[in-house]
Structure 1
Amino acid sequence: MKEGIVKLQELFAKFFGKTAKGAKMEETEQAMNEKIPPVPGELPLLTLKDTVVYPLTVYPLVIGKERSIKLINEVTVGDKILGLTSQKRPDVEANSLEDVYLVGTMARILQMMKVPDGTLRVLVQGLERISIAEFKQTDPYIRARVEAFPDKTDKTVELEALMRGLSEVFQKMVSLTPNMPEELSAAVINIEDPRQLAYLVATNMRLELPQRQEILEIDKVDEKLKKLMGYLNREVEVLELGRKIQGQARDQMQKAEREYLLRQQLSAIRKELGEETDEGSEIKILREKIEQAKMTPEAEKESKRELSRMEKLNAASPEHSVIRTYLEWMTNLPWNKTTATAIDIE
């Protein structure tokens, strides 16, 4: 179990604060190594918004609803075992089976801390997949009749190949994703349990709630791995495309910076050659004429583009002269000017 828990110490310190280390950390590690208890016939059920907690994973939760806080407080002083499931609609209070997904996870509370704003910070460890059959009560919190719903695993050569493939693609995703700890790559390499690999990958990749729930509900582990492989391949494609776009944008910025520096150097050279005053004045005059001409947006954009080209050319070049003539003609046109004279076209 410990192989699949990535940087628990950092997660613990980040979620509960640096002062929460020491004895509490040791207590948490001991709880994680305890034997998984059998699934009872009934469990207190905590409904989650936009979150799926998988078996064999550790996950931090923030509890704010009064009903949920009461549930956590009672479970914490008991055996610390509860059921977790996701709400189908986060804006609707779960009061019946229709409001929740019927496949969830039995979990153990590892640590709980109260914070000044009245909420609870809870660290839970997913233990086993469960199916939810019936709500036994909804007040003061939900208790549900549940059954064990273990994943189906057939150890085959295909399953081993899927594990290796998924691990490789996941490592590639980690290398492409900013702020994702490199230790995740080492973690997937060392995992031998295909269930644990599937749930670790699903926990640490970008998925929508229905997709996360779908992974939990798939019975066969090899099918979970295949589904995750498809999601991972798409995520890697998006990340690679994003990196390519960032590289192109960076190259364009560098090109603009180079052009600016070269323009400054060219200006200094022209100044040394005595060419700066007349040409600089000419560029300035043409720029002012373009601004004052009140052209259409398209014409103004094109004129400024040509002026930028002219600025980079040697004053003695034929193209410099052609552009100057073009800009003088453009600025002398009667843009947005009308006369009161009636014109008879017959």
Structure 2
Amino acid sequence: MPELDEQSRERRGTALPATLPIVPVTQVNLFPRMVIPVVLEGKKHRELVDEVVNTNKLVGFLAYKEEPATPDGPETRDMFHKTGVAAQVLRMITSENGDLSLVIQGLTRFHTGDFVSLEPFIKARVEMAPETHVDDVETKALMSNLRSELRKVVKLSPNLPEEMESLITSVPEPGALCDMVSTILSMSPEERQGVLAALDVKERLHMIREFVNREIQVLELGSKLQNQVKEGLDKTQREYYLRQQLKAIQKELGEEADETQSEVEEFRRRLDEKKLTEQARQEADRELKRLANMHPSSSEYHVITTYLDWLASLPWEEYSEDQLDIKNARAILEADHHGLEKVKKRILEYLAVRKLNPDMKGPILCLAGPPGVGKTSLGRSIARAMGREFVRISLGGVRDEAEIRGHRRTYVGALPGRIIQSLRRAGTANPVFMLDEVDKVGADFRGDPTSALLEVLDPEQNFSFSDHYLDVTFDLSKVMFIATANVLDTIPAPLRDRMEILHLPGYTANEKLKIAKRYLVPRQRKEHGLTGSDFSITDAAVTKVIERYTREAGVRNLEREIGSICRYAARTIAEGEAERVSVGVKKINAVLGPEKITPDTALRTSVPGVATGLAWTPTGGDILFIEASAMPGKGGLVLTGQLGDVMKESALAAVSYVRANADLLKVDPDFHKENDLHIHVPAGAIPKDGPSAGVTMLTALVSLLTNRSVDPEMAMTGEITLRGMVLPVGGIKEKILAAHRAGIKKVILPKQNERDLADVPKAVKNSMEFYFAERMDQVVKRALVKPKSNK
């Protein structure tokens, strides 16, 4: 770092040379008598500094009037102002990256003539521009006034130190005072250049005085705005402070913000278009006020905007118009679903009452039945028949109460519950709302969702349903709720009490055939790219699929098997083996493989000790075979087949009844002394329970001990007592349909279940014989055939 000689440091008023190296600057920051640091970059400036340091250490600073388009663009004399500042280099420091840091002192103003050279740096002809000064009364008054105003600036400005006030007083020359003040005021480059070009000191005083007065006004206004903003302001919210300051500035300038395009006004417009309840309107207004005073970068801002968006998106008073044409609704229901007369009748009744009483509350229906009978699709048909929107939520496996009622807004990422979310998707306040699989809702430490559903499904409460997220009530009374379930036992009693249960037991073989022809075959044909002209299947083939490949209450597996047949047809046509495929009975085995179901009722009951029972399962009715066997022993009883406690008790009751009534039943009274009994229910991997197998177990025991086989075409159900009474059981319709599917022709039922035959389809009743019993001796007499001879 080269040191400059002491004589150069103290040069004052030295006459300028004829030419000076020029450093171009964008604005004037240097005035005579000032000492400032300057950083120069680039090779051109290095060469300039080398010449300056090696000669007279004088350099000129000249401001652009118009900067070049590019940093390396050409420079001409017209691009610069006329007046500049000559300066002396006092110290030079070279940094590690090659930049030059200079400490310079302004000496005097100069006027620029022609440019002598442009490369490697600008060198111009210069002449001194001495200032003119008249020490008269006006100048002294201007000086005194300027000092007084500058003291105000120092007091108001938070950026100026207090020592600046004593420095102002210590400067005696008015020109020097003006130059010094120019460096501390907020001035544009043109204004600074104007001060530099003003050689008349008195003129310069007038200019500086105007700038000082302007600075005082700005500082006073800023102080006033700061006091206004600080009222009621939390000092830690810096963004809020800046926002309030901006509003105060706009108000002071008379420029109100364009709030019509703001997010707050957009929400207000959307909410005004909605017919909110009074409670919701108050909550919305409160949140709008909070939003208006909040900066967009605040985390709470997005929470409020999300909440307001939900309020503005919900259908508060938006209802779809019901189609109350009963005939048209009947036609739609008939076209979409075969059978299900009870459900269709209930829907038409609802529409009829709605037509007479438009203000009636929506019913709460629960469609209960095995899988595949059309519960979910029936909901869509109901919505279409009524002209309403349809929404569905699946409750299977839901264990969190917040899924129904939503989360409170204090939680991160909180949202309304599924009820409110689905209504938003529907866009109306009276859709057909399906709660699918309501019997599979669980409960754990997060709450019991079924308890939350109590308010949703209670017509006396749901007009003011409260979601935790919204925190305002919403009217659900116009919604038509339809729940679906496979099992009613798992639904809590309070919830089940709020619903009207409609049972869908399943379809007969004839109904399945009609459903397959009308719905399943056309749908699968379309999904596999087939048409009626290149694929067909006979009724006999469909019947064989129903009887030998699927034994179910619904038609889900039937549709899968039909899909397999369609895939066979699609492959055959695609490979060019045939242009048209027709599937008959003979082709079914080749396409679907060996038969999955074999009618073996007659075979299995052909020996004594086997009886056919009827059981109810969540997937519909079913038949089960109960086998009894005797072996040498001491009167023990073995029960197998994964039986529940109730079913085991029925077996014990059957054995006790046989022992107590051996003479009546024509059984050896001492059968238990030398024999052990074994009762087995096949399909041992499947848990079984319930009292309705009591009649079947007793019949199997009597069949074994009397060596008389059970009628192979007969099945039975009923609970027994130790006195031989036959008690009624449930699921009669499902059990009879299961017996019909299995080819059973005769059924023994408890006498008190005779009334349940009203729900059984006429076609099924006409094809079967029913016997009703009040006591077990009646069952045994009807069920057993002639004794087998022992050879």
Q: TM-score range by the shorter chain?
A: 0.5 to 0.7
CA distance in 1, matches of 2:87, 2:135: 26
Alignment of 1:267-306 (within 5 A): 295=271, 301-304=284-287
- Given the alignment of the two structures, is residue 41 of structure 1 paired with residue 18 of structure 2, yes or no? yes
- Given the alignment of the two structures, is residue 203 of structure 1 paired with residue 183 of structure 2, yes or no? yes
Aligned to 1:234: 214
CA separation of 1:89 and 1:116: change in aligned 2, threshold 3 A: farther
CA separation of 1:182 and 1:306: change in aligned 2, threshold 3 A: closer
- Given the alignment of the two structures, is residue 138 of structure 1 paired with residue 118 of structure 2, yes or no? yes
Q: Deviations over 1:295-319 (max 9, x none)?
A: 4599555244899xxxxxxxxxxxx
CA distance in 2, matches of 1:107, 1:62: 14
- Given the alignment of the two structures, is residue 78 of structure 1 paired with residue 55 of structure 2, yes or no? yes
CA separation of 1:49 and 1:118: change in aligned 2, threshold 3 A: farther
Aligned-residue offset at 1:254: 6.1
CA separation of 1:198 and 1:42: change in aligned 2, threshold 3 A: same
Provide the aligned length of Structure 1 versus Structure 2.
258
TM-score, structure 1 as length reference: 0.67
Over aligned residue pairs, what C-alpha RMSD do you find?
A: 3.1
Aligned to 1:157: 137
User: Is this contact kept in 2: 1:28–1:111, CA < 8 A?
Assistant: no
CA distance in 1, matches of 2:273, 2:120: 66
Aligned to 2:458: none
1:78 aligned partner, one-letter code: T
Aligned to 2:82: 102
Aligned to 1:56: 33
CA distance in 2, matches of 1:137, 1:200: 33
Alignment of 1:212-227 (within 5 A): 212-227=192-207
Indicate the structure with greater helix content: 1
CA distance in 2, matches of 1:296, 1:222: 64
CA distance in 2, matches of 1:131, 1:205: 25
1:221 aligned partner, one-letter code: V
CA distance in 2, matches of 1:104, 1:115: 28
CA distance in 2, matches of 1:219, 1:130: 10
1:136 aligned partner, one-letter code: V
Aligned to 2:226: 246
TM-score, structure 2 as length reference: 0.30
1:43 aligned partner, one-letter code: L
User: Is this contact kept in 2: 1:50–1:90, CA < 8 A?
Assistant: no
Aligned to 1:181: 161
CA distance in 2, matches of 1:87, 1:48: 6
Q: Deviations over 1:309-335 (max 9, x none)?
A: xxxxxxxxxxxxxxxxxxxxxx9xx86
Aligned-residue offset at 1:118: 2.4
CA distance in 1, matches of 2:271, 2:195: 60
CA distance in 2, matches of 1:118, 1:90: 25
CA distance in 1, matches of 2:34, 2:169: 16
CA distance in 2, matches of 1:297, 1:120: 67
Identify unmatched segments of 5+ residues in structure 1.
Answer: 1-19, 258-293, 308-330
CA distance in 2, matches of 1:28, 1:248: 56
Q: Deviations over 1:217-251 (max 9, x none)?
A: 11211111111111111111111111121122222
CA separation of 1:250 and 1:43: change in aligned 2, threshold 3 A: same
CA separation of 1:131 and 1:252: change in aligned 2, threshold 3 A: same
CA distance in 1, matches of 2:68, 2:101: 21
Moved more, 212-221 or 241-250: 241-250
CA distance in 2, matches of 1:90, 1:138: 15
Aligned-residue offset at 1:154: 1.0
CA distance in 2, matches of 1:29, 1:189: 29
In terms of Rg, which structure is larger?
2
Alignment of 1:329-340 (within 5 A): 336-340=316-320
Moved more, 83-92 or 226-235: 83-92
The equivalent position to 2:174 in structure 1, one of 181, 189, 194, is: 194
Greater RCO between the two (CA within 8 Å, min separation 6)?
Answer: 1
Aligned to 2:527: none
Aligned-residue offset at 1:66: 2.6
CA separation of 1:306 and 1:248: change in aligned 2, threshold 3 A: closer
Aligned to 1:323: none
CA separation of 1:194 and 1:301: change in aligned 2, threshold 3 A: farther
User: Is this contact kept in 2: 1:39–1:148, CA < 8 A?
Assistant: yes
2:142 aligned partner, one-letter code: L
Aligned-residue offset at 1:205: 1.4
Identify unmatched segments of 5+ residues in structure 2.
Answer: 238-269, 275-280, 291-310, 323-791
CA distance in 1, matches of 2:235, 2:174: 49
Aligned to 2:381: none
CA distance in 1, matches of 2:68, 2:144: 40
CA separation of 1:305 and 1:137: change in aligned 2, threshold 3 A: closer
The equivalent position to 1:125 in structure 2, one of 101, 105, 108, is: 105
User: Is this contact kept in 2: 1:162–1:226, CA < 8 A?
Assistant: yes
User: Is this contact kept in 1: 2:68–2:74, CA < 8 A?
Assistant: no
The equivalent position to 1:87 in structure 2, one of 57, 64, 77, is: 64
Aligned to 2:149: 169
CA distance in 1, matches of 2:170, 2:235: 45
Q: Deviations over 1:45-88 (max 9, x none)?
A: 11112334211212221211332232122212221111111112
CA separation of 1:178 and 1:94: change in aligned 2, threshold 3 A: farther
Aligned-residue offset at 1:117: 2.9
SS at match of 1:54: coil
User: Is this contact kept in 2: 1:60–1:122, CA < 8 A?
Assistant: yes
Moved more, 232-241 or 179-188: 179-188
2:100 aligned partner, one-letter code: L
Aligned-residue offset at 1:198: 0.7
CA separation of 1:234 and 1:246: change in aligned 2, threshold 3 A: same
2:15 aligned partner, one-letter code: P
CA distance in 1, matches of 2:6, 2:233: 50
User: Is this contact kept in 1: 2:12–2:107, CA < 8 A?
Assistant: no
CA separation of 1:94 and 1:52: change in aligned 2, threshold 3 A: farther
User: Is this contact kept in 2: 1:153–1:220, CA < 8 A?
Assistant: yes
CA distance in 2, matches of 1:29, 1:229: 37
